[in-house]
Structure 1
Amino acid sequence: MSPAYPPTRTGAEFSEPAGVRIPDPYRWLEADTAEVRDWQREQAALAVSTIAAGGQLERARALVEAFDDGARPELPAPAAGRWFRTEAGPGGPEVLVADAPYGPGRVLARLADFRDPELGADAPVPTLSWLAPSPDGRLLALGVCTDGSEHHRIRLVDVATGAERADAPPQTLHSAWAGGVSWWPDSRGFSFFALTGRPEDFAQAVFEHRIGDGTRIEAVPIPEGSREYTRLQYSADGWRAVASHRLGSPAPVAVRALDTPGEPWRPFVTGLPLGPGGTVAGHIVGDAYIAVTDVDAPRGRVVAIPLDAEHPDDPSTWTELVPQGDTVLRAITPVGDRLLLHGFDRTVAFVRILGLDGRELPGEPGRVPLPGEGAIGSPFFALTALAANPPASERDGYVFAFSTLTTSWGVYRYLPATGALETLRAPGIELDATVELACATALDSTGIPFHVVRPAGADPAAPAPVLISAYGAANVPLLPQYQGDLAAFVAAGGTLVQAYLRGGGELGSDWFRGAHRERRHVRDGDLVAVAEHLLATGIAAKGGLALTGGSDGGLMCGVAVTTRPDLWRAVLPRAPLLDLIGGIRDPYLEFVIRKAWGDPDVAEEVRRLAGNSPYELVEPARFPAVYVQAGATDPRCPPWQARKFVARLQAAQRGEAPILLHVFENAGHGAATSPEVLAQQDSEWLAVLLDELEI
């Protein structure tokens, strides 16, 4: 019997973007009112009690604790012969400085000391969005979030004394997606990308902050009307700067000579398309910008563009250092006089070792000896990765995190001088399971690859309870890496299928283009192809298939449950986007929808948006169990997205399976959510799966 849901009224409101009238009966749930907050709390209480009644919550919590080795570790950052890192302390995370990446350290800051005083004694311990030491090692900049939202402020710490400086910039950063601060090579200040007003208005600009002398907006020339992210990159000698613009497909749109007083910015690589075929992501090396690009190379190639080129926006004038091959090239990191080239071979990571001319070096191994077939830790977006993988000295080496689907994250360092791979932190967990790469066939005959992770000893010929995890959006690669909640599901006896759907970045920009904008529906077809393949081949049994995904992957879940409810036993969206039409009214979501889905000012495209929007797709049906998680302070997929969808789905449910919603307080989109809340989210999520799949 279905639970007794909290009473939910409907209204006569409608949306009318571009003159297209679309009913919106639960629009009142977008507001932050006492009525909405009470409704949200009642839904959370119902979810908690229903999950507890299933009898799997304590078991799920124990599994989550056993297989949680922490999120991907933040790498130690070098500066002036010292290393800066975070560690768990008795009162929460601490920031340390040491003489070696993980050597004995001195505490510089405790995150608990940055609690928001307006939230009182019960305020959660803040989270660290990033840390960045100045090149001379004297100052440390920290990005501190106090409410789980990812909105954060810059804090400045004096390394010698550990004292917090009072002259940090006052601006709020919307997220860490622009990589925090970019220190000037002379350590006298830094640039950063931050909000110019209220977070909900989503207006941002590049700022420069001179230590002891205030903050001002830096007038960087970017494409007119663009609301994309920007990060400034500096040459090691401090003579040049480039402005890399756009989150998922960055390009160095402007260059500036810093050794000439008063020299203005000038256009550099401009005119490239937004999205596939428009990425030029790299670093200043000598007098050139050396980058991985998908321009005329959907799987990627490496090019060098002179900083003083007469026509840098003409790809025919670029010097090709590494041509396109059979594998996907993703990022490049200068380390001393070498280039380390990171890519994927059928989703599995590799790192090639090249000279600055792009050629392999005689007597060197050609590749970094990675500790298995898995993934190197890297941000979702190419612009953020420019900050996460900065040029390094030969002395400091190439430091990276690595994991596999069955082995948790370790931290390693490759030293070019010796060719040795040093284990700085060994992985703490190894899942007893097998991994197999397989393939389904989409309706257009495209092969859709997926990994199958089975508990050791499981009979591959016997149907198993299966969870599909997928994403397929924004050129973000879903990779064969460790995720504690998924590992806990396998340890409990489930079989995990990680599917690589079109729209993602696993197989190059053609793969991304295959489900981009007007082709977004292709991802949904790819998912169905994988699900039907699992049933047809006996990997899963009918009634034993579940689905999960987060953010845009949550939208994928919403489409799947409303259009093919017959396929699923349970669907679990996390921090989801679920209402594209309502999202047009939100400045941040409007920015995302406009670049990734379609133009909300064009009636035909609005109709297409509605045809891909789960909230609009809900019709009376027998739905499987649905458990939706959201964060109360999520600025990307705000909780009203989940509230409206769940309210409509509860009213449309004609079956007995529960439709549950839990909006977690002090939780956002995940990156700044506290470990305690993440563990609670994972435990409830896993308990629903164990109960519904009868594991």
Structure 2
Amino acid sequence: MSDIEIPETRIGAETDEAAGVRFPDLYRWLEADTAEVNRWQDAQGEAAAAYVRDWPHFDRLRELVERYDSERFGSVPVFAGGYWFRIEAVPGAERPSVLVSGEPYGEARVLFDPGTENPPKPPFLSWISPSPDGRVLAVGVCTDGSERNTIRLVDTETGALLPDPPPQFLKDSWTGGAKWLPDSSGFFFTATDEDPVSAAHRIVLHLRRGTPSTVDIEVPWLPGDDYRAVLASADGRRVVAVQGLFDPVPVAVAELTDPVALHWRPFVTDPALNLAGFLLGEEWIAVTDAGAPRGRVVAIGLDSPAPNDPGTWRTVVPESEAVVRAVRPVGDVLYVHEFADTYAGLRVVDRQGAARGTVALPGKGALGELPFAIMNILGPVPEDQLVFSFSTLTSSWGTYRHRPGTTVLETLREPAARLENCVVEDGWSTSPDGARVPYHLVRRRDLALNRPRPTLLWGYGGFGAPWLPQFPGAMAAFVASGGVFVHTHLRGGGELGRDWWEQGRLQGKQNGYADLYAIAEDLIATRVTSPDLLALAGGSNGGLLAGVGATQRPNLFRAVVPRVPLLDLIGGCRDGYGRWVIDSDFARVDDPEEIRRLAGFSPYHLVRDGVDYPAVFIEAGHTDPRCPAWHARKFAARMQAATAGDSPVLLHIWRGSGHGWATDRDMLLTQETESLAFLAKVLGLTPPD
């Protein structure tokens, strides 16, 4: 394989079973967190690190990675009580702190420094949520990289920690942390079970009146274990319970008289209706794809006799060729975020839907949004302005402000990183079933495509999450080094509307992989690249994508990097969170025929002895609760034993790191550098001086 010594791996004789279907599971023992497994894992990591650090340009590449490092998702300061709160690094601090100022990026004071909590290893700031009056700041703090966080409460006048914060764990930051009552007397939050891989979520109310108290809130019509949240209307009259990570539905409403004794009544209880939105007066205003695959904006009266019937909803913005993604209220207007051929647009309408103009965005790119619908509906918005982030494939996230009734777009913060002298070219390939699949190609302007070049495909294609055409962050170093970066839009994502998602999920899941291969073959046919210069990488569901590509089409790629991946989809059916994920987007886990289909794109089960596999570098986090590290361990062991060629199969599992949402920046930079160094070493790229 290489001159790097890979530790030997013993083979077991166990089997796995899902829905009565049995599969050999030779490396089941690597799922345990035993001393033997940890010794093996650490030895694998040492071999992987040695391989990439043996490359003479590693340190120079890390400098490039740090230069191009940027936020994964565009964030903006949060407004409350006349002040703006933000998370930002300050000179000399080990970790970013919470700052407060009178303007979004004005002169600020440090309000909460996590370094004071544990100086040797400060915790990670997962989220912030100030009370409406600006007097108390709730902060989510994660100590082990897993995303599981607990709440700290800060007096914003003195910076002192307040006593008796709620003790429960939050699974992550995905429901926005603390959702305050309008009078700032307390907040709702979504707690989880003690089990890190549990999919359970429950609503908790924490009150600050008198003696602090924390109580569970029972809401009928919240079935199953899906993500959920309770939020209050801005006027303080009502609360609504929302459930569904991918398809949020406002299932119940209550009058906000006594938050401890809420009398819930059902609202929209059909889980098939996607309604990501907010309460505004007597209506729920939301984006839906019900009867409109590309999305529309609707209003549902809170006293509607048939809220589950889309025919009774008032259409505010009808379906069009654009894909409607989100809607935000500012004053008496609504800002509508939409896609046109994957690129973002922003238009303004009044509450009846009449056009009030468009916002001239600073280029072709992406508005800042989080990947799943429920994550984007729970944040406060100032009454007189919309502050948002925007990025392109050659510039990182900048922050901008638009005020209704004006044509001026203010730049509050310029992008911190740019790819200079580069071009972006839009392309479309054709999948075997005739679907047209978009992609974007990024290269240096001086890099002529007169012969095949080292090329990196990057994709996701799952859960209806749009793969935004945004700055590639550390992967910009690949472009600066003379490579071609290809940002793909695969079925299973949400870039082209509901149909695009449905065609790439459940029984259509293989379509997304076919889309990937169609793009790769198009790039080879046009001599942009060749199979010996083509790489594939992705994280999370994109890590699964990379694993599928390596095992279904091993001759198509020279190098593959699955990051924080799911790779054993049969084994994933056994734990609570994995079972929920697989059942949502891949296959119905209680159906034997579905399980057999699932095995057809489960990379661990696709590995065959005697195949010349591409070079593979697998990276995972030891405390990852979403894609547990054993997926990476088992897949690496199986590929190392099976491959017939001399291309390396390497594994690095990082301690103190999870799925990437709560990993320290310095560790992330090193992770990015290792995976890119692997690609550069295999493909023959050299970072510029």
Q: For this structure pair, what is the TM-score category when the shorter chain's length is used for normalisation?
A: over 0.9
Verify the 8 A CA contact 1:610 1:616 in the aligned structure 2. yes
Q: Distance in 2 between matches of 1:263 and 1:58?
A: 58
More deviation, 514-523/34-43: 514-523
More deviation, 565-574/479-488: 479-488
Within a 5 Å distance, the mapping from 1:341-490 to structure 2 comes to: 341-361=336-356, 366-388=357-379, 390-394=380-384, 397-432=385-420, 433-490=422-479
Which residue number in structure 2 is paired with residue 163 of structure 1?
160
SS of the counterpart of 1:201? coil
The structural deviation recorded for 1:263 is: 5.3
Q: Deviations over 1:257-301 (max 9, x none)?
A: 22489551111111242xxxx311111111101111000001000
Identify the match of residue 208 of structure 1 among 205, 210, 224: 205
Matched, 1:309 2:304: yes
Q: Distance in 2 between matches of 1:455 and 1:641?
A: 36
Q: Distance in 1 between matches of 2:124 and 2:176?
A: 15
Q: Distance in 1 between matches of 2:214 and 2:594?
A: 41
Which residue number in structure 1 is paired with residue 333 of structure 2?
338
- What is the alpha-carbon root mean square deviation over aligned residues? 1.4
Residue identity matched to 1:210 = L
Within a 5 Å distance, the mapping from 1:540-689 to structure 2 comes to: 540-620=529-609, 621-689=611-679
Q: Distance in 1 between matches of 2:288 and 2:234?
A: 22
> Structure 1 4/324 Cα, relative in aligned 2: closer, same or farther at 3 Å?
same
Identify the match of residue 315 of structure 2 among 320, 332, 353: 320
Q: Distance in 1 between matches of 2:73 and 2:511?
A: 30
Verify the 8 A CA contact 2:197 2:626 in the aligned structure 1. no
Q: Deviations over 1:377-400 (max 9, x none)?
A: 111111011124x34311xx1111
Identify the match of residue 144 of structure 1 among 132, 141, 144: 141
Q: Distance in 1 between matches of 2:258 and 2:66?
A: 56
Q: Deviations over 1:11-48 (max 9, x none)?
A: 11111222211110100000000000000000000001
Q: Distance in 2 between matches of 1:271 and 1:331?
A: 20
Which residue number in structure 1 is paired with residue 117 of structure 2?
114
Verify the 8 A CA contact 1:74 1:86 in the aligned structure 2. no
Verify the 8 A CA contact 1:114 1:146 in the aligned structure 2. no
Residue identity matched to 2:443 = R
Residue identity matched to 2:254 = R
The structural deviation recorded for 1:448 is: 0.7
**Aligned residue pairs, count:** 677
More deviation, 411-420/591-600: 411-420
SS of the counterpart of 1:438? strand
Verify the 8 A CA contact 1:197 1:203 in the aligned structure 2. no
Matched, 1:222 2:221: yes
SS of the counterpart of 1:83? strand
The structural deviation recorded for 1:69 is: 3.8
Q: Distance in 2 between matches of 1:45 and 1:537?
A: 39
Residue identity matched to 1:438 = G
Residue identity matched to 1:549 = G
Which residue number in structure 2 is paired with residue 118 of structure 1?
none
The structural deviation recorded for 1:58 is: 1.7
SS of the counterpart of 1:21? strand
Verify the 8 A CA contact 1:283 1:391 in the aligned structure 2. no
Q: What are the ranges of 5 or more consecutive residues in structure 1 without an aligned counterpart? A: 116-120
Matched, 1:175 2:172: yes
> Structure 1 451/73 Cα, relative in aligned 2: closer, same or farther at 3 Å?
closer
Residue identity matched to 1:611 = G
Q: What are the ranges of 5 or more consecutive residues in structure 2 without an aligned counterpart? A: none
Which residue number in structure 1 is paired with residue 42 of structure 2?
41
The structural deviation recorded for 1:200 is: 3.4
Identify the match of residue 287 of structure 2 among 273, 292, 305: 292
Identify the match of residue 127 of structure 1 among 115, 124, 135: 124
Residue identity matched to 2:185 = R
Verify the 8 A CA contact 1:56 1:690 in the aligned structure 2. no
Within a 5 Å distance, the mapping from 1:489-568 to structure 2 comes to: 489-568=478-557
Verify the 8 A CA contact 2:200 2:226 in the aligned structure 1. no
Q: Deviations over 1:466-494 (max 9, x none)?
A: 10001100001111101222211101110
Verify the 8 A CA contact 2:75 2:368 in the aligned structure 1. no
Verify the 8 A CA contact 2:66 2:474 in the aligned structure 1. no
Which residue number in structure 1 is paired with residue 236 of structure 2?
238
Identical pairs, percent: 48
Verify the 8 A CA contact 2:85 2:99 in the aligned structure 1. yes
Q: Distance in 2 between matches of 1:386 and 1:483?
A: 25
The structural deviation recorded for 1:66 is: 2.0
Which residue number in structure 2 is paired with residue 11 of structure 1?
12
Residue identity matched to 1:232 = V
Residue identity matched to 1:280 = L
The structural deviation recorded for 1:72 is: 4.0
Verify the 8 A CA contact 1:282 1:386 in the aligned structure 2. yes
SS of the counterpart of 2:96? strand
Q: Deviations over 1:39-73 (max 9, x none)?
A: 00000000011112233312321210222244445
Q: Deviations over 1:225-258 (max 9, x none)?
A: x110112222111111111110011111111122
SS of the counterpart of 1:60? helix
Which residue number in structure 2 is paired with residue 29 of structure 1?
30
